[in-house]
Homo-oligomer: A and B are copies of this chain.
């Protein structure tokens, strides 16, 4: 809420953060120059001293989102299932702590607001998805996962579970049941059962 002058770089940071906060907290339709200005403590027009236009702000917000989601990525572990576990539990924990930020990645509002750069949002999702798929394929090659299971279907399941958890949070439901470790255990049991033989 500083009214003082700030160097552009700092303001850009502030604004990008504020944008993400607004998007995931109040909805994209509230992402207006006025609202941003209020949040940051400057006049609405001043926003455009730091960003060319609104699309650029959204882009910055997405970049910021990417930073949050992939802070410690990829997880390091020799065993692919262990790597997947680290990722999954981490993400599910994030979902619980900051559900709205996570949901932003799936927001059609955000994607819409990104305009031309909608691809930026998609790439965030794809990056996660590719990682999951990689872990699963590797584990299957090592014989840790039943070979009858389709890697694509499994990827969908793992990623989808996270998504459903996030949407569950939005709806206010399921809060208690979502102990990350429990959920992972269920998944792991299923993945490895067939391979034990």
Contact = CB atoms under 8 A, between A and B. Distances in A.
A158 to B, nearest CB: 8
Number of copies: 4
Given A112-B27, A164-B163, A157 B187 contact: yes
Contacts of A164: 156-157, 159-160, 163
Given A29-B112, A165-B160, A193-B146, A153 B187 contact: yes
Nearest to A177: B152
Interface of A is mostly: helix
Interface stretch (A3-11, A67-75, A168-176): A168-176
A149 B66 CA distance: 33
A103 interface: yes
A54 to B, nearest CB: 12
A161 B171 contact: no
A182 interface: yes
19 contacts: A106-B167, A107-B108, A108-B170, A126-B173, A146-B189, A146-B193, A148-B185, A152-B177, A153-B182, A156-B168, A157-B157, A160-B160, A160-B162, A161-B161, A163-B164, A163-B167, A190-B190, A190-B191, A193-B194
Given A153-B182, A190-B193, 13 more contacts: A106-B106, A126-B173, A148-B186, A149-B189, A150-B177, A150-B183, A152-B178, A156-B161, A156-B164, A157-B186, A163-B164, A163-B167, A193-B193
